[in-house]
Amino acid sequence: MIDSQILERHGLKRDEYDRIVQFLGREPNLTELGIFSVMWSEHCSYKSSRVHLKTLPTEGPQVLQGPGENAGAIDIGEGLAAVFKIESHNHPSFIEPYQGAATGVGGIIRDIFTMGARPIALLNSLRFGELETPGTSRLLEGVVAGIAGYGNSIGIPTVGGEIAFEPSYAGNPLVNVFCLGIAVASDIIKGVASGVGNSVYYVGAKTGRDGIHGATMASAEFDEKSAEKRPAVQVGDPFMEKLLLEACLEVMRTDALVGIQDMGAAGLTCSTTEMGSRGGAGVEIDVSLVPQRETGMTPYEIMLSESQERMLLVVKRGREAEVERVFEKWDLHAVHIGEVTSDGLLRVKDQGHVVAEIPNRALTDEAPVYRRPMAEPEYLAGVRRLDLDALAEKGPYFFSANHDLLALLGSPTIGSKRWVYRQYDHMVRTNTLNVPGLGAGVVRIKGTDRALALSVDGNGRYCYLDPYRGAMLAVAEAARNVACAGARPLGATNCLNFGNPERPAIMWQFAQAVEGIGAACRALGVPITGGNVSLYNETDGRAIYPTPVIGVVGLLEHADRLLSRRFQAAGDIIVLLGEDRGELGGSEYLKVVHGLVAGVPPALNLESERALESLLVDLADLRILKSAHDCSDGGLAVTLAECCFDAGGIGAEISIEAVHAARAMAMNRAAALFGESASRVIVSTTVDNVTEVLERAAAAGVPARIVGRTGGNLLRVAVGGHMAIDLSVDEAERAWSSAVERYFQRRVA
């Protein structure tokens, strides 16, 4: 009864089917096939990515929990752990922006509290097509409203993030959400089912037909109504999740709980098999006991439903009443749906009749692993070529540096994201020290003197031009942002957004990026503690830019020593840490001013980067800096301008060396102002402290020099002794503030 059509609808290949038959020693029934198809899907099995992910550094003295659990955890002192992870919700957000983004937030929050941690902060990393493209503003509005709607309602602050706009994301936006929680290090809970005879409980929302993969139709009769019955978008309920969060944290304080896991992708199927597999046990459940929202649901549908806000718990035998009481208190009903068994099988019953019986290991550890063919993409040779002199001849040569700077500040990728983050509640729980828009988000750890800084970063354009280097730069930027806040980077999580891995060019990008992440994480001392892979990000055969997004968490031992990007006072000394190499490859300047995506991304010396980050943390700890801001998109000129924004109109005047990037003078000037060389930071300090800053930089081997002073209400930059930029801070700030907002003001009815 299983023909090639059914296999195709389940996304299974013929040889994979043969393996299934081998494991079972018989043909699977439809329910079993459905279970295999979701567990062996790319999303759950990481079948294309696993061989590469294994090479990532995941260990360190600070790591309490590496990849493989619901989230990673690092030691942050005083007996506490930071539990964090990033996850994608790209495809659902494109179909239904509000609910897609909202349920993405809900999913990552569940991953965090499942570990026994109280979620305290959210970040997001978003990528869309250009705002001019029809439909983009609607998508952005929906996604932002969804993140706000869920995050604000459940009472967890969104403290930062990033947004970039590139044409390659027009048919496939990226919505990556990061959540951080705090747990008592010794009380971290795992997603494990063990202890034969222990009870398996289902808690939370009822199961409906939401999110069941397209295969459902295989079993349903086709009639007028089938359109209505088909896989529907998941709808989130933040209030239900709040109840679940509080109830689960309370249950975890008792020792009646053995393990817990949220039902995310592949719902009941994934949670039962993964928990069983981790505990080396079997799990038996009866789907007729599962609370259902709709009538007539088949075991197939119940096992594959992705209804939101549901958890699976394993409770010690004899302690059930205790656990049930806690859930009752929170108006939730914990339902006993099965037991842990000794046979290592996932056994699904429907009113006592066995409807599926599969060895857990066949679904998890024994899932297919592919070493897919790789080949360097053909486009690379072409796009890496960059002739600045030819560009200078072509123009637009009549533009002044002032004009170019205003154009960059007004580009939505660089400009202020205030329109977005003002929709987020970033102060709820009253721990937020650095609000969005000031660099890394910083949250206080209540009850201690400490704080955590968090940043998510990525650059698809860099990775398109060189995935290895681009991925290293993403790690470095996230860690540097955290260090700029004064925090020591401790751990990282990654969200890898790529195209179709069955194409050798995409697989090559993926492998290169993972290698780059590994190299940078090892050198910078930030092990990867978990993450998520999102493949098949393509529309009409055109892939997105390869986009690894990195989240880094760092620790500030004294919360009051934190720094932001803003200049604090007039008359301070501006110091540039790091080296200008005038690298324009892949820069925002080339894209915005010349409409060009070309060249090689900036070089990154990992040792220099590590020295720089370590120096920043030390200087912040000595309280001899007043601000610190990392040079990234748009280079030095944009960075300096950003130091002046939201700072009460404090201007700055600096003078920098000319660089030699080309023969054309205009290009050398542009390279000095807008080149995106890595490992550079603009800091400000007082006249009294500047000597110590310079001495300590010299001792750390970090190039440092005084470039100017804060003050006045102008933004002035001289290059090689010639004034290149001379603007009022007001004018520059206007261009920057309205960069995103202007696309939405026009549409107000």
Q: How far is the CB of 238 from another protein (least distance, A)?
A: 8
Sheet holding 451-457, edge to edge: 432-434, 441-444, 451-457, 547-556, 488-497, 528-534
Angle between helices 320-329 and 238-253 (to 10 degrees): 140
Please say whether the beta carbons of 333 and 274 come within 8 A.
no
Question: Please, which residue, 301 or 609, has the CB nearer to another protein?
Answer: 301
Q: How far is the CB of 268 from another protein (least distance, A)?
A: 16
| Selected catalytic residue, list 10, 52, 89, 594 | 89
Question: Please, which residue, 205 or 260, has the CB nearer to another protein?
Answer: 205
Q: How far is the CB of 527 from another protein (least distance, A)?
A: 38
Question: Please, which residue, 102 or 258, has the CB nearer to another protein?
Answer: 102
Of the candidates 75, 72, 28, 115, the one whose C-alpha atom is nearest the C-alpha of residue 348 is: 28
Q: Which of 234, 261, 272, 534 binds another protein (CB under 8 A)?
A: 234
d(CA 364, CA 39): 7
Token readout for 190 is 């795992």
Question: Please, which residue, 42 or 210, has the CB nearer to another protein?
Answer: 210
Positions in 260-299 near another protein (CB under 8 A)? 293-294
Question: Please, which residue, 218 or 232, has the CB nearer to another protein?
Answer: 232
Residue type, 603: A
Residue type, 225: K
- String marking each residue 9-48 x if it binds another protein according to CB under 8 A: ----------------------------------------
- What H or E segment, with its residue span, contains residue 327? helix 320-329
Per CB under 8 A, 233 contacts another protein: yes
Q: Which of 24, 232, 289, 335 binds another protein (CB under 8 A)?
A: 232
| Selected catalytic residue, list 43, 213, 426, 629 | 43
| Binding window for another protein (CB under 8 A); candidates: 228-236, 509-517, 574-582, 614-622 | 228-236
d(CA 696, CA 680): 16
Q: How far is the CB of 95 from another protein (least distance, A)?
A: 6
- String marking each residue 328-357 x if it binds another protein according to CB under 8 A: ---x--------------------------
Token readout for 142 is 């929906």
Count CB atoms within 10 A of the CB of residue 747.
Answer: 9
d(CA 679, CA 683): 13
| Binding window for another protein (CB under 8 A); candidates: 5-13, 121-129, 230-238, 443-451 | 230-238
Q: What is the dihedral of CA 378, 586, 170, 131, to 10 degrees?
A: -160
Token readout for 104 is 């993405």
3-state secondary structure of 257: strand
Per CB under 8 A, 236 contacts another protein: yes
Q: Which of 166, 237, 404, 477 binds another protein (CB under 8 A)?
A: 237
Positions in 75-94 near another protein (CB under 8 A)? none
Q: Has 336 been annotated as catalytic?
A: no
Q: How far is the CB of 235 from another protein (least distance, A)?
A: 4
Q: How far is the CB of 456 from another protein (least distance, A)?
A: 28
Token readout for 404 is 């170019």
**Which residues are registered as beta bridge partners of 122?**
158, 179
Name residues whose C-beta falls within 8 Å of residue 373's C-beta, 6 or more positions apart in sequence: 504, 507
Q: How far is the CB of 211 from another protein (least distance, A)?
A: 10
Question: Please, which residue, 209 or 488, has the CB nearer to another protein?
Answer: 209
Per CB under 8 A, 308 contacts another protein: yes
Positions in 97-156 near another protein (CB under 8 A)? 99
| Binding window for another protein (CB under 8 A); candidates: 235-243, 410-418, 511-519, 610-618 | 235-243
Q: Has 91 been annotated as catalytic?
A: no
Q: How far is the CB of 307 from another protein (least distance, A)?
A: 7
Q: How far is the CB of 208 from another protein (least distance, A)?
A: 6
d(CA 46, CA 100): 22
- CA 34, distance to chain mean position in Å, is 29
Strands (E), 71-197: 72-75, 80-88, 118-128, 158-165, 174-184
Helix (H) and strand (E) counts in the chain: 27, 28
- What H or E segment, with its residue span, contains residue 656? strand 652-656
Per CB under 8 A, 228 contacts another protein: yes
Q: Which of 307, 413, 416, 679 binds another protein (CB under 8 A)?
A: 307
| Binding window for another protein (CB under 8 A); candidates: 236-244, 475-483, 607-615, 629-637 | 236-244
Q: Return the residue matching tokens 């280079």.
A: 635
Please say whether the beta carbons of 241 and 154 come within 8 A.
yes
Question: Please, which residue, 212 or 345, has the CB nearer to another protein?
Answer: 212
d(CA 490, CA 503): 35
Q: How far is the CB of 747 from another protein (least distance, A)?
A: 14
DSSP letters along 693-719, please? HHHHHHHHT--EEEEEEE-SSEEEEEE
Please say whether the beta carbons of 451 and 173 come within 8 A.
no
- String marking each residue 403-442 x if it binds another protein according to CB under 8 A: ----------------------------------------
Question: Please, which residue, 205 or 472, has the CB nearer to another protein?
Answer: 205
φ/ψ of 453, rounded to 5, equals -110, 140
Of the candidates 134, 175, 123, the one whose C-alpha atom is nearest the C-alpha of residue 537 is: 175
Question: Please, which residue, 236 or 441, has the CB nearer to another protein?
Answer: 236
B/e letters for 604-630, b = 16+ CB within 10 Å, e = fewer, are bebebbbbbbbbbbbbbeeebbbbbbb
Question: Please, which residue, 15 or 331, has the CB nearer to another protein?
Answer: 331
Question: Please, which residue, 229 or 742, has the CB nearer to another protein?
Answer: 229
d(CA 360, CA 366): 9
φ/ψ of 315, rounded to 5, equals -115, 140
Per CB under 8 A, 240 contacts another protein: yes
Coarse DSSP helix, strand, coil percentages of the chain, rounded to the nearest 5 percent: 40, 25, 40
| Binding window for another protein (CB under 8 A); candidates: 206-214, 386-394, 476-484, 630-638 | 206-214
**Which residues are registered as beta bridge partners of 528?**
492
- String marking each residue 208-227 x if it binds another protein according to CB under 8 A: xxx-----------------
Q: How far is the CB of 748 from another protein (least distance, A)?
A: 17
Q: Which of 239, 280, 376, 542 binds another protein (CB under 8 A)?
A: 239
Q: How far is the CB of 428 from another protein (least distance, A)?
A: 20
| Binding window for another protein (CB under 8 A); candidates: 229-237, 385-393, 542-550, 553-561 | 229-237
Of the candidates 361, 305, 496, the one whose C-alpha atom is nearest the C-alpha of residue 40 is: 361
Q: Which residues bind another protein (CB under 8 A)?
A: 95-96, 99, 205, 208-210, 228-230, 232-237, 239-240, 293-294, 307-308, 331
Instruction: Provide the annotated active-site residues.
Output: 43, 89
